[in-house]
Amino acid sequence: MAVMAILLVGLLVLVLLVHLVEATTYDIMATYLDTNCSSTEPYIVYARQNGGCTDGVCYTYLVDNRAYAVDERASTDCSEEDYLRVMREFYNNSPYIIHELYSDDDCSTFEYAVGFLATNTCLGGNQSAGLYYESSLNPDGSATVIPYFINAGSTETMEGDSSCSSASAGVVAADKEVLANHSCVHLGEISLLYDFFTTDSANTVSSYRWYSSNDPDISSQSGLVGSTSSYDSSSGSIATENRSSSLSSGALAGIIVAAVIIVIAIIFAICFCKRRSQAMRADERFTRTTSPISRDTVSGQRGLWNDEVITAKRIPRNKVKVKKLLSRGAFGEVYSGVFYQRRVAVKMLPSSTRTSLQHVNAFLTEAKITATMDHPHIVPFIGVAWDSLSDLCVALEFMEGGDLRALLNKYEASNHHVGFDRQKTAIALHVCHALAYLHSLASPIIHRDLKSKNILLNGAMEAKLSDFGISRQRLDETMTAGVGTSLWMAPEVMLGERYDEKADMFSFGVVLSELDVHTLPYAQARKRSRESEGRELTDPSLLQRVATGEIRVEFSYFSPRSIVNLGHACVSVDPGDRPTAAEALYRLQLALAKELV
């Protein structure tokens, strides 16, 4: 049996080595013209193979210790799979053109690929010497990329023309047939665009293909070097060529030798482990009565890594592709990302705390709480992934509508009418549904940090509750310790008194006020203080007055009285005077049915 197991392991190793020899690593780098990689899609996405790739998110991109563009940032994705799919994912839903270049005449030896944002506007390096271009998908089905260069005579001194003037233009175009069929085009004269991207390459570009966001079925398109049609620009003919890769005899012999060595190593390891196991059993008999270390202590040192909820929700880390930074706070960072072609939000610890076991365990605690939630108005948990402490992350459903606070800021800036309409009331209803769910669990969960920033919206403006970083199950009748965000905090929490689910209802009343008047909580109270007392109302003074009921959040005259009354009840100083989530839910449903028809 042992020999059979060893042979099976050897066979498995052989298969693995074959896979490793065949695998090609692609370095896909997206470059952005803003400092946080979030305001636009990347203006250039560049792919090459075996480039010594290292994953990175929104880092300063330097070439020879200088940036191609002012404030240029880059994100890098290392892939052993389909580089074309990864390039497409960087562009999300924006129009793009991808140009694949090859160093032979039949598009079989991949050199690199470049993606261009097809906005038909001059894009480039923030008034620096970087690349400038215009790219467009034309109504007739063709595509055009127009690079603008000065000092075009030498690749060492090529610089982009920030004016995008016609005098410095060079046109690279694909007709409808070539673009739609991804035809292999034999290149005649090398253009300035190719020179710009091949200054670090010893090879010459001889052929190319095009892809675009107009491709009808992008999921079936492969970015792995293989077979497609070929187009000769001189004759206009299209031919099809199938190519398959195979291992050379030398490579195969190397694999077999390596497999034999590994099998021998496995046999040695089995013998070693058997002897070590016998020694450990003897040692255990000796130390069983003298060692004070318990299994609970060891489990505590491991933290939550082996928790059954965490392990059940663990997903492969290499399948979670981190893209653009969306937000950054003291306790976490959120990026847009992709997991098996599904757009996700990726939450990670800040780089300064990723190696802290205390922070990691707190992060995993939040992951565990979120993973156990199952409600349509709580952001769905997709999985937790890690290969090491430093790359621990959580994947959540991507909420394309952003957070409620951002929406209300836009409303305030655009003088959007105040008061409750059906959409605002529906958002409040969704949040109340989530609270009613949390508070009705067998072990009720108190969110403890309910605020507009932690309410996310999808494309249909459906609200979902997020960020359970300081949530706790109510193990006792009440809890202590003031946590949460101060402007939304209930008086009993501010004062360090015992509290329960009604603390969340106070925060919900503050959110109702935000939905009504759009401003941050107590903005009018601060304004009145400036006008009457001639000075700013400090946070401690404000919170003291909130705790005593002297100041409370504002509501407008344009909202239904039933919702205003509900808001006032929620922010009662006495928790006993506040409604439960179920009661608030009922009152909102009545308002939506009778007063906001």
Closest CA to 564 of 572, 573, 555: 555
Domain range for 133 is 25-223
Are 393 and 417 in a shared domain?
A: no
pLDDT over threshold 50, residue 490: yes
Q: Is 319 within a domain?
A: yes
- Is 449 catalytic? The answer is yes
Q: What are phi and psi of 47, to 5 degrees?
A: -125, 135
pLDDT over threshold 70, residue 413: yes
pLDDT (0 to 100) of residue 264 = 61
- Total structural domains in the chain? 3
Neighbours of 108 (CB within 10 A): 17
pLDDT (0 to 100) of residue 202 = 46
More confident residue, 188 or 243: 188
- 195 band by pLDDT with thresholds 50, 70 and 90: low
- Token pair of 518 as six digits: 């759009």
Are 174 and 219 in a shared domain?
A: yes
The answer to whether 403 and 397 are in contact (CB under 8 A) is: no
Are 336 and 475 in a shared domain?
A: no
Are 216 and 312 in a shared domain?
A: no
pLDDT over threshold 60, residue 481: no
- Token pair of 104 as six digits: 């032979």
CATH of the domain at 588: 1.10.510.10
pLDDT over threshold 80, residue 399: yes
pLDDT (0 to 100) of residue 355 = 83
Question: What single-letter DSSP state applies at residue 392?
Answer: -
Q: How far is CA 407 from CA 159, 344, 413, 433, 555, in A?
A: 41, 20, 10, 20, 18
Q: How far is CA 45 from CA 28, 48, 57, 68, in A?
A: 7, 10, 14, 14
Question: What single-letter DSSP state applies at residue 335?
Answer: E
pLDDT (0 to 100) of residue 48 = 82
Q: What are phi and psi of 370, to 5 degrees?
A: -65, -35
- Catalytic residue (choose from 161, 403, 449, 504): 449
pLDDT over threshold 70, residue 287: no
What's the CA gap between 369 and 467, in Å, rounded? 10
pLDDT (0 to 100) of residue 282 = 38
Bridge partners (DSSP) of residue 186 are 207
Q: Where are the alpha helices (DSSP H) in 23-151?
A: 83-91
pLDDT over threshold 80, residue 510: yes
What's the CA gap between 118 and 134, in Å, rounded? 7
pTM: 0.56
Q: Is 293 within a domain?
A: no
Q: For residue 65, give the amino acid letter.
A: N
The CA-CA-CA angle for residues 326, 332, 336, to 5°, reads 30
> What is the average pLDDT score of the chain?
76
Which of 371, 397, 423 terminates a domain? The answer is 397
Closest CA to 492 of 563, 562, 549, 557: 549
More confident residue, 440 or 486: 440
**Please, which residues have CB within 8 angstroms of residue 71's CB and are 6 or more apart in sequence?**
33, 34, 35, 126
Considering 165-179, 321-335, 477-491, 577-591, the range whose residues carry the highest mean pLDDT is 577-591
Are 423 and 385 in a shared domain?
A: no
Question: What single-letter DSSP state applies at residue 247?
Answer: -
- 485 band by pLDDT with thresholds 50, 70 and 90: low
pLDDT over threshold 80, residue 514: yes
The answer to whether 346 and 320 are in contact (CB under 8 A) is: yes
pLDDT (0 to 100) of residue 569 = 97
Q: Is 276 within a domain?
A: no
Bridge partners (DSSP) of residue 60 are 73
Are 426 and 332 in a shared domain?
A: no
Q: What average pLDDT does the segment 138-165 reach? A: 72
- 426 band by pLDDT with thresholds 50, 70 and 90: very high
What's the CA gap between 336 and 286, in Å, rounded? 54
pLDDT (0 to 100) of residue 566 = 97
Are 207 and 105 in a shared domain?
A: yes
Q: Is 291 within a domain?
A: no
Which of 182, 206, 223 terminates a domain? The answer is 223
Are 306 and 388 in a shared domain?
A: yes
Are 387 and 423 in a shared domain?
A: no
pLDDT (0 to 100) of residue 128 = 52
Q: Is 436 within a domain?
A: yes
How many CA atoms does the CB half-sphere of 413 hold within 13 Å? Answer: 6
Are 335 and 427 in a shared domain?
A: no
Per-residue pLDDT reduced to its tens digit, 219-265: 445 454 444 444 443 333 333 333 334 444 455 555 565 655 665 65
- Token pair of 280 as six digits: 């450990």
**Please, which residues have CB within 8 angstroms of residue 480's CB and are 6 or more apart in sequence?**
496, 497, 498, 499
Neighbours of 247 (CB within 10 A): 13
3-class SS of residue 344: strand
The answer to whether 68 and 130 are in contact (CB under 8 A) is: yes
Q: Is 441 within a domain?
A: yes
- Token pair of 351 as six digits: 């780089």
CATH of the domain at 372: 3.30.200.20
The answer to whether 455 and 510 are in contact (CB under 8 A) is: no
Least confident of 136-140, 252-256, 395-399: 252-256
Which of 207, 223, 239 terminates a domain? The answer is 223
pLDDT over threshold 80, residue 523: yes
- Token pair of 574 as six digits: 């006495």
Are 432 and 384 in a shared domain?
A: no
More confident residue, 428 or 71: 428
Are 368 and 498 in a shared domain?
A: no
Q: Is 251 within a domain?
A: no
pLDDT over threshold 80, residue 270: no
pLDDT over threshold 70, residue 77: yes
Q: Is 534 within a domain?
A: yes
